[in-house]
Amino acid sequence: MRHKLLFWVSFIILSITLSAQDIKISHGPYIQAVGLTETTIVWTTDADAVSWVEIAPAGDNSFYGSEHPRYYETKNGNRVIGKLHKIRVAGLNPATEYRYRIFSKAVIEYAGHRVLYGNIASSNVYRQKALRFKTLDDNKETLSFLILNDIHGRNNDLTALSKGVEFGKTDLVFFNGDMVSSMNSEQQFFEGFMDESVKLFASEIPVFFSRGNHETRGPFSVYFPDYFPTYTGKLYYSFRQGPVFFVVLDCGEDKPDSDIEYSGLAQFDAYRTEQQEWLKKEIETENFKTAPHKVVVIHIPPIGSDWHGPLDIKRKILPVLKNKGITAMICGHTHNYKYIEPDNEELDFPVIINAHNTSLDVQADMEQMIILRKDTSGKVLNRIELD
């Protein structure tokens, strides 16, 4: 009897150990913070792991033809163990296409410098082509990008509005806020829009996020920026791709910080002042000044409302942008389309407010920017031409 008991105890322990070795890629990968010479690749696993990315030049040859350089996530000299993996790949060439593969090795036990590893999960390069991305190009003469906002977890609309997104045709995609109604959990974040985005395009085409007021809400709101690394380490940042210099701002909330709805957790007035000071420096950079087009992306429009958030943006952001050659400011938030003409007093550029169920398909060259507003069937509802 005792031998049988020992056998079954040993069998159970072995079964638990073997199952603990299993690991799966649960979400992603997706491209973030792509620049002239770098990008960041993000994914998650269902178990703690150490991860890496292998990079190969573009081509149709087998990924198995040779060894490829590995890039790791490290912090202060240590490789990072966890379920969220953010691998920065640096030292790349501008305007260059690369292929990549991700790997995660399960960490079953970790004590001191003794680590018990489990199995490895990786993206498939055997039965399908390796994933790819392309670095940015300041000298690119044409640019194509898509802007979506206020999806609020409606994956069917996300799919319909982005069906024209294609690698080699679309350079980048903007999510201009309120992609979900609140940030309550990692699961809501992925199921609300990011899993569908990965399925459609985000593993190869970079997604740039401008936070909406709804993404400031919920217990996961403090942590979700970890899933969208940026050049500045903040949710406001800038970059240039070809003829367009982009300024991406974080609108914060739409009501006063003291409003009862925020339960004493909001500090957005100071945060918008912080962005104001940062913006004053950005508009003095050579990249900004020499760009043929300058586009500001922010979820809440600063015009057309007497709520606190829009008024604070109006007071702090519009004076900084005045007389700086802004081509357009692109917003969402209201769930209704509106084109606001410049008034040449406080606003010397147009504000385009996209609806919740339309997309803005933008084509830009050195002379002109053309914006097509489309519905979920792909029908063009408006055509806007900007010099």
Assigned domain for 9 exists: no
Q: Which residues of 98-130 are buried (b: 16+ CB within 10 A; e: fewer)?
A: bbbbbbbbbbbeeeeeeeeebbebebebeeeeb
Assigned domain for 349 exists: yes
Residues 313 and 267 in one domain: yes
**pLDDT band (50, 70, 90) for residue 16:** very low
Residues 32 and 181 in one domain: no
What's the CATH number where 148 sits?
3.60.21.10
Q: What are phi and psi of 377, to 5 degrees?
A: -90, -5
pLDDT at 10: 40
Assigned domain for 8 exists: no
Q: What is the mean pLDDT of residues 211-240?
A: 96
Q: What is the mean pLDDT of residues 306-325?
A: 97
Q: What is the pLDDT of residues 144-159, one digit of tens each?
A: 999 999 999 999 999 9
**pLDDT band (50, 70, 90) for residue 176:** very high
Residues 289 and 147 in one domain: yes
Assigned domain for 98 exists: yes
**pLDDT band (50, 70, 90) for residue 14:** very low
User: Percent of the chain at pLDDT above 70?
Assistant: 95
The H-or-E segment that residue 98 falls in is strand 97-111
Residues 208 and 298 in one domain: yes
* pLDDT over 70 at 337, yes or no: yes
36, two tokens: 């002239």
333, two tokens: 């938030």
* pLDDT over 70 at 82, yes or no: yes
Q: What is the pLDDT of residues 233-280, one digit of tens each?
A: 999 999 999 999 999 999 999 999 999 999 999 999 999 999 999 999
Q: What are the residues facing 351 on neighbouring strands?
A: 329, 340
CB 211 within 8 A of CB 180: no
Q: Which of 99, 87, 104, 102 is nearest to 39 (CA)?
A: 87
Query: What total of structural domains would you count in the chain?
Result: 2
Judged by DSSP in three states, 360 sits in strand
Assigned domain for 319 exists: yes
Residues 274 and 372 in one domain: yes
* pLDDT over 60 at 326, yes or no: yes
Residues 273 and 187 in one domain: yes
CB 100 within 8 A of CB 41: yes
Last residue of a domain, one of 134, 156, 176: 134
Q: What is the mean pLDDT of residues 161-174?
A: 96
Last residue of a domain, one of 134, 160, 195: 134
pLDDT at 21: 75
Last residue of a domain, one of 75, 108, 134: 134
Assigned domain for 35 exists: yes
pLDDT at 344: 78
CB 317 within 8 A of CB 279: yes
Pseudo-torsion of CA 140, 196, 149, 201, nearest 10°? 10
Residues 43 and 157 in one domain: no
CB 42 within 8 A of CB 28: yes
Pairing of strands 359-364, 369-374: antiparallel
pLDDT at 101: 97
240, two tokens: 């240039």
Assigned domain for 1 exists: no
Give the single-character DSSP code of 32.
Answer: E
pLDDT at 1: 52
pLDDT at 58: 96
**Over the chain, what is the mean pLDDT?**
94
Q: What are the residues facing 338 on neighbouring strands?
A: 353
CB 335 within 8 A of CB 356: yes
Distances in whole angstroms, Cα of residue 165 to Cα of each of 72, 81, 204, 254, 267:
30, 34, 11, 31, 36
Distances in whole angstroms, Cα of residue 146 to Cα of each of 33, 161, 353, 361:
16, 9, 14, 5
Q: In terms of residue numbers, what domain contains 90? A: 23-134
Assigned domain for 250 exists: yes
155, two tokens: 């994956």
CB 332 within 8 A of CB 297: no
**pLDDT band (50, 70, 90) for residue 113:** confident
Q: What is the mean pLDDT of residues 311-325?
A: 97
**pLDDT band (50, 70, 90) for residue 9:** very low
